[in-house]
Amino acid sequence: MHRAAILAASLTLAACASGPPADPFAAGRWVDLTHSLGDDTLFWPTADPFRHEPVSVGRTPGGWYYSAYNVETSEHGGTHMDAPIHFHEGGITADRVPLERLVGPAAVIDVREASRDPDYRFSTADIARWEKKHGRLHPGTIVLFDTGRASLWPDAVRYLGTAERGEAAVAKLHFPGLSEDVAHLLVTRGVAAIGLDTPSLDYGQSKDFIAHRILSAAGIPGFENVGDMSALPARGATIVALPAKIAEGSGAPLRIIAFVPR
């Protein structure tokens, strides 16, 4: 018998002999960081709104209840992932983002005070302040920026800066995002992914989307419109961020959760 098969058999026997396995998630709790997709979901002003249309809902001729819907949505609306190809030609598509970039330890950086300025760009000083208190960002970390703006969802005027739709509305967007320096710093730290509770990695008034471009070129996905992070510690939680596996997608709707140990 192959050594790997012998080892697997031994582990199986040992597990059976010692009783049922312990629940690895018993000592902690799960936190959902995802906004529901619905009629009030916020999208970029140039994107089509979410549609959830019934195909068949109600009692069947056989007497049982049955429901089914068609869904139509932009890749980049609600809580979603930006795949690297979104801003980097030849970058990784949504279906090819490695799981190692979607599951990992979280670092939650509190920028709520600075983000009272809707045009604020996260600075290297914000990172330095966090690292001085909590230690250096390790490679493979999923970095989340907590601006506190998830509490404004789904009020388009307060969250996006405007409720207007169309190309002209883009110039009226106001919300915080990453600075060019922070994007470069996070690349050098070797982080796995970046998430924030705003509509974009770049701040609303960005004209060059430099943070997107830097992170995408490094193969780092972005999680946008993340939900309320207030229940997460600065360090110690584990993130599980699983996007819809859209072939050749530039992004995808995302279900992102965190496990917070007791």
**Which domain does 242 fall in, by range?**
25-42+74-261
Q: What is the pLDDT of residue 21?
A: 78
Q: How do residues 12-44 score in pLDDT, each as one tens digit?
A: 444 555 667 788 888 999 999 999 999 999 999
Q: What is the pLDDT of residue 22?
A: 82
CATH number at residue 229: 3.50.30.50
Residue 50 domain-assigned (yes or no): no
Q: pLDDT at residue 6 above 50?
A: no
Q: pLDDT at residue 155 above 80?
A: yes
Residue 17 domain-assigned (yes or no): no
Residue 67 domain-assigned (yes or no): no
Residues 209-227: what's their mean pLDDT? 98
For the chain, the DSSP string reads: --HHHHHHHHHHHHHHHT-SPP-TTSSEEEEE--PPPSTT--B-TTSPPPEEEEEEEEE-TTS-EEEEEEEE--SSBSSEEE-GGGTSTT---GGGS-GGGTEEEEEEEE-TTGGGSTT-EE-HHHHHHHHHHH-PPPTT-EEEEE-SGGGGTT-HHHHHS----SGGGGGG----EE-HHHHHHHHHHT-SEEEESSS-SS-TT-SS-HHHHHHHHTT--EEES----TTS-SEEEEEEEEE---TT-SEEEEEEEEEEE-
Q: What is the pLDDT of residue 25?
A: 84
Residues 178-189: what's their mean pLDDT? 98
Residues of the chain with pLDDT > 90, as a percent, come to: 90
Residue 51 domain-assigned (yes or no): no
Q: What is the pLDDT of residue 19?
A: 66
Residues 208-229: what's their mean pLDDT? 98
Q: What is the pLDDT of residue 9?
A: 47
Q: What is the pLDDT of residue 8?
A: 44
Q: What is the pLDDT of residue 1?
A: 43
Rounded Cα distance, 216 and 100, in Å:
16
pTM: 0.90
Residue 217 domain-assigned (yes or no): yes
Higher pLDDT among residues 24 and 88, named by residue? 88
Number of domains the chain is built from: 1
Q: What is the pLDDT of residue 2?
A: 46
Q: What is the pLDDT of residue 13?
A: 47
Residue 14 domain-assigned (yes or no): no
Average pLDDT, the chain: 93
Residues 155-160: what's their mean pLDDT? 98
